[in-house]
Amino acid sequence: MRASVRIPAIVAAAAAVLVTVTLPAGAAGTNLVKDGGFEKPKVAGSQSLVGGPNVFFGGKCIPGTAHNCWGLGTGTIDIVSKSVWKPKAGKQSIDLNGGAEAAEVAQSLFTSPGQSYQITFWLAATPGAPDNVNIAVFWADIDGHGNTMSTDEHDFNFFPIGHTSTSMGWTKETFVETSSSAPEFAENRIYFLSTANLGPGNDDFGPVIDAVSVKQI
């Protein structure tokens, strides 16, 4: 549903540093997400990254923005190599509960007004998680000043029992969005926010994501 969802405060705070830059959108069928497999930086084992203003990873950003890279607005992620657990694709994935505070990551996308996009990602959980882990995915329309015009929220969960570091049980999640056709529209942003809350002592168990793509259809 369009327009009625309020982005959580931690996501809104991150949006303030993701400055809008308008460039031509990609052709239909092209993945607009840069480093959707979280292969950069290359890590040995795992590496924690703490969020905050102007914390970016996963590529060479357009300066001051989360274009061509990921922005980490809050919390801590773990970038995890295949030596720790098996990714869906490539050699790495990310854990959105890398510390006591659940994290959110975002990327700004060069899209076209009024066009439809298929969003796909693969979801699993930190091995050993004792119960369902949850994730919220936000799709935001952004105007030429970098302000959020509207957002949609999509909620997903993953049941980890029975899965291990070598058999993660990766699940494909997908949905379709249409960018705004309003004259002030400039771009879209996609946010992945851990909403896992497994209680005291389980703060580091949460959603793991890999192989993110956004393609015009």
Concatenating the DSSP letter of every residue in the chain gives --S-PPPPHHHHHHHTTS-----PPPPTT-B--TTTT---S--SSEEEEE--TT-EESS-PPTTS-BTSEEEEESEEEEEETTTS--SSSSEEEES-SSSS--EEEEEE---TT-EEEEEEEEEE-TT--S-EEEEEEEEEEETTS-EEEEEEEEEEE--TT--SS----EEEEEEEE---STTEEEEEEEEEE-----TT-TT--EEEEEEEEEE-
Q: Is the confidence at residue 96, as pLDDT, over 80? A: yes
pLDDT of residue 197: 84
Considering only CA atoms, give the Rg of the chain: 16
Does CATH number 3.40.1160.10 belong to domain 9-216? no
Phi-psi region of 72 (alpha: psi -120 to 50; beta: other; left: phi over 0): beta
pLDDT of residue 25: 60
Mean pLDDT of 32-61: 95
Predicted confidence band of residue 4 (pLDDT cuts 50, 70, 90): very low
Minimal CA–CA distance to 106: which of 155, 157, 77, 72?
Answer: 72
* Percent above pLDDT 90 for the chain: 77
pLDDT in tens, 56-88: 999 999 998 999 999 999 899 999 999 999 999
pLDDT in tens, 111-147: 999 999 999 999 999 999 999 999 999 999 999 999 9
Q: Which range has the worst mean pLDDT, 97-101, 138-142, 165-169?
A: 97-101
Domains of the chain, residue spans: 9-216
- pTM, whole model, 2 decimals? 0.88
Mean pLDDT of 29-53: 95
